[in-house]
């Protein structure tokens, strides 16, 4: 029987299979940030060890950083201490890291691909659930816990049970005004926020093939929001073209040789998956979430669903979610007044997202009552946006470009949505309090966010922008 893409990459990295179904897996690239590394560094120190393969480790502080005045010392004491100890830990262990203000700085899942660290066929881990983003390159990439971070520091290996495999095929062409974010929100709304549990997903089909690398990253980023361990896409010419010429990617003939290997990374025609789903891209509309998990999504043109068909605790949590959001079943999503718009995060903080948002709002004005936080995912995205004049277009429309970081995605810094306020957010989680205590988050793609920013309410970007 043929092998799946996942099996090919996984099997090539198994150092040893242990009794009980777990394997010692070799890790090619380890990304670290300031939130989940301190305890691991401490554990290492207590054992008298140093990081085994510092050259395969890359660090950046992203969660706690302010998104304004990054040239000044960080005002908040706890964040400042965390950034200081992150720098010390990286320096003591000879780890390359990109501090605040450095041209390479940004959200860990944005800078890795952008600099060419992330490559097809690799195993990649980080103490962060959205490590799944890197699966867009055909890598087996997944989030790990702090004790596992310590394991990788010490040995460049990790103990892992092999997940089951799932293929999600999206056939056909998507309609105008439908973004990669809409595709993944649609998929999660269909299979639910727990539908991928225990699996590693491969995304396939024409609608996935048609995506740019940045769009593929958006899809893989959110693969974990249906409970999966990760998501991946077979590398193809789009992938090779993206990786080519990036600073940390193989160069010259080494690159050509690497492409030869990467071309073997696909699921064999007779490979079998434990679970398969198939969707049609033509059924996908611009999406928005109405509840408090990423599976609670509908087309922007739809109504708030009812709890028909739900029972027991599902019904209770559905009701609780609507109460938290202040929504009632049967109300249209269109026209709901919003207060905040957040463009950014490792889901939608890349240059194509800023281009799309800027092109949409060009020549229009931000609705006066809306507070908009536009936060590039990295210094490079920020620089590129400025080089392309997007900052001017945005400024003319009443928007300000902030500085890179995770920002309001999880509000670990000062960018918190006030209690009770409605936020249309391009990030990946709409849990209670995620964007600040009491904040009400509606997840969407950059076009729905742009439409909300200029109209001040939930609107169909195809109508607003004539797409």
Residue 399's closest CA among 431, 446, 438, 440? 446
- Dihedral sign computed on CA atoms, order 416, 134, 240, 426: negative
The single residue among 140, 170, 304, 410 that binds ligand IPM, judged by CB under 6 A, is 410
Non-local CB neighbours of 306 within 8 Å, separated by 6+ positions: 329, 330
- Six token digits for residue 2: 């043929």
Query: Which listed option, ligand IPM, ligand SF4, none, makes contact with residue 107 (CB within 5 to 8 Å by class)?
Result: ligand SF4
Residue number of the CB closest to ligand IPM reads 129
**Spatial distance between the Cα atoms of 49 and 43, rounded to a whole number of angstroms:** 9
Coil/strand/helix, residue 14: strand
- Is residue 455 close enough to count as binding ligand SF4 by CB under 6 A? no
Q: Flag whether 90 is marked binding.
A: no
**Spatial distance between the Cα atoms of 104 and 380, rounded to a whole number of angstroms:** 7
Tell me the site size for ligand SF4, rule CB under 6 A: 13
The single residue among 143, 177, 195, 461 that binds ligand IPM, judged by CB under 6 A, is 143
Binding map of ligand SF4 across residues 343-362, x = CB under 6 A, - = no contact: --xx----------------
- Is residue 130 close enough to count as binding ligand SF4 by CB under 6 A? yes
Sheet strand arrangement including 371-374: 371-374, 340-343, 422-425, 440-443
Binding map of ligand IPM across residues 20-39, x = CB under 6 A, - = no contact: ---------------xx---
- The interface with ligand SF4 within residues 358-397 (CB under 6 A) comprises none
Q: What are phi and psi of 275, to 5 degrees?
A: -140, 140
- Is residue 428 close enough to count as binding ligand SF4 by CB under 6 A? yes
Q: Flag whether 457 is marked binding.
A: no
Can you state the angle between helices 351-361 and 379-387, rounded to 10 degrees? 40
Residue 146's closest CA among 44, 59, 216, 247? 44
- Is residue 434 close enough to count as binding ligand SF4 by CB under 6 A? no
- Is residue 230 close enough to count as binding ligand IPM by CB under 6 A? no
Coil/strand/helix, residue 189: helix
Compare residues 115 and 129 and give the one whose CB is closer to ligand IPM: 129
Binding map of ligand SF4 across residues 99-128, x = CB under 6 A, - = no contact: --------x-x------------------x
Provide the 10 A C-beta neighbour count for residue 465. Answer: 18
- Is residue 174 close enough to count as binding ligand IPM by CB under 6 A? no
Non-local CB neighbours of 186 within 8 Å, separated by 6+ positions: 279, 283, 284, 285, 287, 297
- Is residue 129 close enough to count as binding ligand IPM by CB under 6 A? yes
- Is residue 321 close enough to count as binding ligand IPM by CB under 6 A? no
Residue 115's closest CA among 204, 218, 29, 5? 29
- Is residue 426 close enough to count as binding ligand IPM by CB under 6 A? no
Query: Which listed option, ligand SF4, ligand IPM, none, makes contact with residue 345 (CB within 5 to 8 Å by class)?
Result: ligand SF4
Question: Taking the complex as a whole, how short is the minimal distance between the CB of residue 410 and ligand SF4, in angstroms?
Answer: 4
- The interface with ligand SF4 within residues 190-229 (CB under 6 A) comprises none
Query: Which listed option, ligand SF4, ligand IPM, none, makes contact with residue 391 (CB within 5 to 8 Å by class)?
Result: none
Question: Are the beta carbons of 59 and 96 closer than 8 angstroms?
Answer: yes
- Six token digits for residue 458: 């939930």
- Is residue 63 close enough to count as binding ligand IPM by CB under 6 A? yes
Residue 291's closest CA among 339, 340, 328? 328
- Is residue 409 close enough to count as binding ligand SF4 by CB under 6 A? yes
Compare residues 288 and 406 and give the one whose CB is closer to ligand SF4: 406
- Name the site residues for ligand SF4 (rule: CB under 6 A): 62-63, 107, 109, 128, 130, 345-346, 406, 409-410, 427-428
């Amino acid at each position: 029987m043929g092998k799946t893409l996942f099996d090919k990459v996984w099997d090539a990295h198994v150092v040893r299979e242990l009794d009980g179904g777990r394997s010692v897996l070799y890790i090619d690239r380890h990304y670290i940030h300031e939130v989940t590394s301190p305890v691991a560094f401490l554990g290492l120190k207590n054992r008298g060890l140093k990081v085994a393969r510092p050259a395969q480790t890359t660090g950046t502080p992203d969660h706690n950083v302010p998104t304004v005045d990054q040239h000044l010392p960080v005002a908040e004491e706890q964040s400042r201490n965390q950034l200081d100890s992150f720098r010390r830990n990286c320096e003591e262990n000879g780890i390359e890291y990109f501090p605040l203000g450095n041209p390479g700085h940004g959200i860990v899942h944005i800078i890795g691909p952008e600099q060419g660290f992330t490559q097809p066929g690799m195993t990649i881990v980080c103490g962060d659930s959205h490590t799944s983003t890197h699966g867009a390159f055909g890598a087996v990439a997944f989030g790990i816990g702090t004790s596992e971070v310590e394991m990788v520091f010490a040995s460049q290996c990790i103990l892992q049970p092999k997940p089951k495999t799932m293929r999600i095929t999206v056939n056909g062409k998507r309609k105008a005004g439908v973004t990669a974010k809409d595709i993944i929100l649609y998929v999660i709304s269909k299979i639910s926020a727990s539908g991928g549990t225990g699996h590693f997903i491969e995304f396939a089909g024409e609608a996935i093939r048609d995506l740019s690398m940045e769009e593929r990253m958006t899809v893989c980023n959110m693969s974990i929001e249906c409970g999966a361990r990760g998501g991946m896409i077979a590398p193809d010419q789009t992938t090779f073209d993206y990786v080519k010429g990036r600073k940390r990617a193989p160069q010259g003939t080494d690159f050509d040789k690497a492409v030869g290997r990467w071309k073997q990374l696909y699921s064999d025609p007779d490979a079998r998956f434990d679970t398969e789903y198939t969707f049609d891209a033509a059924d996908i509309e611009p999406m928005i979430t109405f509840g408090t998990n990423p599976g609670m999504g509908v087309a922007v043109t739809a109504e708030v669903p009812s709890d028909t068909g739900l029972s027991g605790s599902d019904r209770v949590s559905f009701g609780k979610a609507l109460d938290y959001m202040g929504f009632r079943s049967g109300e249209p999503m269109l026209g709901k007044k919003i207060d905040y718009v957040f463009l950014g995060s490792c889901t939608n903080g890349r240059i194509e997202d800023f281009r799309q948002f800027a092109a949409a709002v060009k020549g229009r004005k931000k609705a006066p009552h809306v507070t908009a936080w536009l936060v590039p995912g990295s210094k490079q995205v920020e620089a590129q946006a400025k080089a392309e004049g997007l900052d001017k277009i945005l400024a003319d429309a009443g928007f300000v470009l902030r500085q890179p970081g995770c920002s309001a995605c999880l509000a670990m810094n000062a960018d918190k949505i006030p209690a009770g306020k409605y936020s249309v957010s391009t990030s990946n989680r709409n849990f209670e309090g995620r964007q600040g205590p009491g904040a009400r988050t509606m997840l969407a793609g950059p076009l729905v966010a742009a439409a909300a920013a200029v109209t001040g309410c939930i609107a169909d970007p195809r109508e607003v922008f004539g797409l």
